[in-house]
Amino acid sequence: MVDLEEIEWHVEAARRYLEEAFKLLGSGDPYDAAEKVWAAVRHATMALTLKFIGLAAPTEGVTWREFVEEAFRRAGLSQEESRMWANYFVEVRRGLHGDVFYGLFYEEKEHRPLIERSREYVELVEKLLHSKTHS
């Protein structure tokens, strides 16, 4: 059974982290901003996968890319859109969480677009959750 309170908790966490990320970015701290974006994307993704697959993480043998793509497909996106957003999830994990936050390696032209696109990702997930919840 899907726990709607848990899903909403993840959505709220995603919103909070996203807000913090853009404050940090505005104050010149792309490193912590990158980690907050990763947290926002991660929480939004957990809400999505809980709602449409019933799990917060993939089962053994299933990659995160496959897992996230499947959740987007079940939420109603095309295979192409689902793949694009699953790839974005993996890019954020690698680029922002790994390279920027842990690796302390920030490149404006590489990483800023990932940060900027996070709003679109979280908003899309919220829209998909809402449309399926109220259909």
Q: What is the CATH number of the domain that holds 46?
A: 1.20.120.330
Write down the pLDDT at residue 63: 98
Banded model confidence at residue 1, pLDDT cuts 50, 70, 90: low
The count of domains in the chain is: 1
Percent of the chain with pLDDT over 90: 87
* Structural tokens at position 86: 């699953």
Mean pLDDT, the chain, as a whole number?
94
Write down the pLDDT at residue 77: 98
- Beta-carbon contacts of 17 under 8 Å, excluding residues fewer than 6 positions away, are 36, 37, 39, 40, 43
pLDDT tens, position by position, 11-53: 999 999 999 999 999 999 999 999 999 999 999 999 999 999 9
Structural domain span for residue 98? 4-133
Closest CA to 49 of 106, 81, 6, 19: 6
What is the pTM (predicted TM-score) of this model?
A: 0.93
Using the structure block, give the residue that is written with the tokens 């694009």: 84
